[in-house]
Amino acid sequence: MENIIDEKTQKRLNVFKLMRQAFLIPEKVYGPQRELALHSIRTSVRREISGLNAEIIQIDVTNRGWVKLVLEGEDAEAAKNFLDHKYGSIYELDSLYPGMVLKGKLVDPTKFGHGIYVDIGLLSVKKDAFIPLYTLRKQLVNNIRKPLRKITDNFALVENFPLEIKIRNIDKATYNIEAELSESQINIFEEWIKSLLDRIIICGATRQQVRKAIIKSGHLQDILSIDRLGLLEHAVVCKYGTEAPGMISEIGEFLPKVPMKGFLPKVIKAFIETKH
């Protein structure tokens, strides 16, 4: 027997759908601080949507670490739209197009020698955007033939480093996605280099944990700020004349198993100017 839904019932179903929204946000949870990170994002989202009639009824993590939220309430759709605007969106492969700018997290760059992969959280396929080595050379080191490992080491491109990219080409038959760094991302690196201030890139701890570790290590007076790159990713900006390498091991004692890497402008400038 055919199941017929009358107009009134359909309207009620549509209202129910609007009152519950399930979606991903482009933030990853990983490493030893997973539970603290989930608590942090739950607290942040609650604060950000506190003026709306919507609440978090579930927060979870996908098998690749992306955060999944389920909201419920009369303003659930409005809350989702607000969070999409603040954090960005996760996309289907079919919605990507050349020239599109989006954010992702760097896949472990030590596994590859011909370029880097950026996890952009595609919903239906496990496929990452690929930035070829020749593109990185052109965008970061004046097209000089530098090895990938040296480029990623000098620019502190560690696993889960947040990167903004621009899509160049999509082969939807093979799911291959070629990309480049966005203009905004390149500008960030250029500004960091021009500042001549060392930075410590930390991936895998909340801002509160990073600050506590800096205080315990006795280096609070040696930094200018802790700049947020993502939920668990931060750039600790050192005061002029303070060298990041000396601080990394001491701060690291209070953040075990959390990757850290120095972004050192003077070293990077010398690296770029060297023709090999």
**What tens digit of pLDDT does each residue of 4-39 get?**
556 655 555 454 455 899 999 889 999 887 888 888
Mapped onto helix, strand or coil, the DSSP state of residue 27 is strand
Please give the pLDDT value at position 13.
45
Of 9, 17, 31, 22, the closest CA to residue 205 belongs to 31
Tokens of 264: 């050192």
Enter the CATH code of domain 196-273: 3.30.70.100
Q: Can you give the pTM of this predicted structure? A: 0.86
Of 149, 103, 152, the closest CA to residue 129 belongs to 103
In the chain, the percentage of residues whose pLDDT exceeds 70 is 93
Enter the CATH code of domain 93-186: 2.40.50.140
Of 22, 24, 20, the closest CA to residue 72 belongs to 20
Is the pLDDT assigned to residue 3 strictly greater than 70?
A: no
Enter the CATH code of domain 13-87: 3.30.310
Helices 76-87 and 34-48: angle between axes, nearest 10 degrees: 120
Please give the pLDDT value at position 8.
55
Where do the domains of the chain lie?
A: 13-87, 93-186, 196-273
CB atoms within 10 A of CB 10: 10
